[in-house]
Structures are given as structure tokens and as C-alpha cells.
């Protein structure tokens, strides 16, 4: 909690993106059919209705239908399908 508040203060004071300070994964949605995520370290679960991705300090949970991975290389994952939910959980 303190780290998050300090990160928000630094981000606001110096105009630095918060995701870089807190090691948050960087996610880009393309509609509700594609999600590109940078900063991934591995795949914990891979099913057509749920994909769980491990990052340095977080776990990403993507839920939907007909989910599939288009690519996974150099810390970047591309997921396609009907994405209905996206959650970030701290380790």
C-alpha cells in the first residue's frame, strides 16, 4: 500500500507513467477481441475460457470465450477471443 502511494506521488510529481514505477504489466486492448500484454514471464493456466499470465509482481487473469494465444515471445503475449473480464492480482 505504501509502495503504491509513493509510486502515485512520484508519477504525478515527475510525469512518469505509474506502470513503470510499480512494475505493472502494460496491456493494450483492441476492441474486446484482442489483448496485447508486455512484461509477462510465463503462463500459469491456458484454457479457452480463462488464461492466467504470470508477471514479475502480478498475475493477470483474462476470462472470456474462444480465447487463444496468438504469440508469446520476449515478454509479450497476444490473446484473441471474446474478452469479457481482465483482472490484475498482486503476488
* pLDDT tens-digit series, residues 8-27: 554 455 555 444 445 567 88
**85 against 39, higher pLDDT:** 85
Task: Please tell me the chain's helix, strand, coil percentages from 3-state DSSP, rounded to the nearest 5.
Answer: 20, 60, 20
Q: Please tell me the predicted confidence (pLDDT) of residue 8.
A: 57
Q: What's the confidence (pLDDT) of residue 11?
A: 47
The single-letter DSSP state of residue 39 is S
Average pLDDT over residues 21-39: 81
Give the pLDDT score at 21.
47
Structure-block grid coordinates of residue 54? 504470470
Amino acid at each position: 500500500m505504501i509502495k503504491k502511494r509513493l509510486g502515485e506521488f512520484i508519477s504525478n510529481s515527475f510525469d512518469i507513467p505509474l506502470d513503470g514505477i510499480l512494475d505493472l504489466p502494460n496491456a493494450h486492448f483492441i476492441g474486446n477481441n484482442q489483448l496485447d500484454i508486455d512484461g509477462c514471464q510465463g503462463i500459469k493456466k491456458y484454457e479457452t475460457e480463462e488464461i492466467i499470465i504470470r508477471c514479475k509482481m502480478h498475475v493477470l487473469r483474462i476470462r472470456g470465450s474462444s480465447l487463444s494465444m496468438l504469440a508469446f515471445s520476449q515478454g509479450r503475449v497476444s490473446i484473441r477471443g471474446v474478452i469479457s473480464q481482465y483482472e490484475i492480482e498482486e503476488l
